Amino acid sequence: MKATSDWKQMKKEGEKITMVTAYDYPSAKQSEAAGMDTILVGDSLGMTVLGYASTVQVTMDDMIHHARAVRRGAPDTYVVVDMPFGTYHGNVDDSVQNALDLYQATDANAIKLEGAGCIDIIRRAVAAGVPVVAHLGLTPQSVGVTGFRMQASDEAAAMQLIQDAKAVESAGASMLVLEAIPSDLAEKVTAVLGIPTIGIGAGVNVDGQVLVYHDVLQYGTERLPKFVRPYADFNTAGVQGLKSYVAAVKAGEFPDESTTYKRKVFEE
């Protein structure tokens, strides 16, 4: 399993970092078998696998439950887990304690925080021994305010994002996720930081990429964001497989001789 220091070395050597957002044992197991560098247990699980309208409804218990399943499925992969909405937006002491609790309860390798307003939390969590991944640009927990659209599109916002990126690095963040920002801005941020940048809708000139497992494989997803390229179509294959099962049962073709237990007859 890679350590935090390995990410900086990969950045230095120009080796791209691969990350996938996954939420359970089988997806984590497949991700590890595929050679994924790191798995993010994102609070997007609220929408992707729990059917919530947004990430706001996701709880600490949800994150712990799913992160533990991912760890069991990928014991040798670096795992990052999101702190859910509301667990680091109030009192700093409580926020840091929540970070420690999540890190300890999940056996994750790092936690992830969204936005530039958690510098003190990052600093104190890192000082306590918890690696932290930061997240700037489009931050899903704030879409009620920002909306699902490209961020930092004007000069002032771009300069602010660069300053925020430097601030989270100074606070001790070990990686930075950049979501839905202009590619030239992502390239500038990547150039000024010593820590790796992981892009999602941020162009190719970052240090790595992250996409959601269900988007990459088109598994249960109906509308894909502009920045997603699917590499399989589980929606079609899965439905077809289930239709074939239904048809076989209706026709009396399943179970057949090969899938039926029979009592052995013993002769005296």
> What is residue 145's predicted lDDT score, i.e. its pLDDT?
47
For tokens 């497949």, the residue is 30
Query: pLDDT tens-digit profile of 202-243?
Result: 999 999 999 999 999 999 987 888 889 999 999 999 999 999
**Residues 54/144, Cβ–Cβ less than 8 Å:** yes
| Per-chain mean pLDDT for the chain | 93
What residue ranges of the chain have pLDDT lower than 50?
145
Known binding-site positions for 3-methyl-2-oxobutanoate: 43-44, 82, 112
Amino acid present at 159: M
> What is residue 84's predicted lDDT score, i.e. its pLDDT?
96
In degrees, rounded to 5, the angle at the alpha carbon of residue 138 between the alpha carbons of residues 135 and 144 is 115
Q: What domains are there in the chain, each with its CATH number?
A: 4-235 (3.20.20.60)
Phi first, then psi, for residue 41 (nearest 5°) are -90, 95
CA distances from 136 to 26, 122, 181 (A): 29, 14, 9
> What is residue 266's predicted lDDT score, i.e. its pLDDT?
61
How many other C-beta atoms lie within 10 A of the C-beta of residue 251? Answer: 8
What pTM does this model have?
0.93
Known binding-site positions: 43-44, 82, 112, 114
Residue 92 tokens read as 């700093």
> What is residue 242's predicted lDDT score, i.e. its pLDDT?
97
For residue 24, how many C-alpha atoms fall within 13 Å in the half-sphere facing its CB? Answer: 8
> What is residue 12's predicted lDDT score, i.e. its pLDDT?
96
Amino acid present at 209: Q
Catalytic residues: 179
DSSP for the chain reads ---HHHHHHHHHHTPPEEEEE--SHHHHHHHHHTT-SEEEE-TTHHHHTS--SSGGG--HHHHHHHHHHHHHH-TTSEEEEEPPTTSSSS-HHHHHHHHHHHHHHHT-SEEEEESSTTHHHHHHHHHTT--EEEEEES-GGGHHHH-SS----SHHHHHHHHHHHHHHHHHT-SEEEEES--HHHHHHHHHH-SS-EEEESS-SSSSEEEEEHHHHTTSS-SS--TT---S--HHHHHHHHHHHHHHHHHTT-SS-GGG---PPPPP-
In degrees, rounded to 5, the angle at the alpha carbon of residue 183 between the alpha carbons of residues 177 and 189 is 55
Residue 246 tokens read as 């239904």
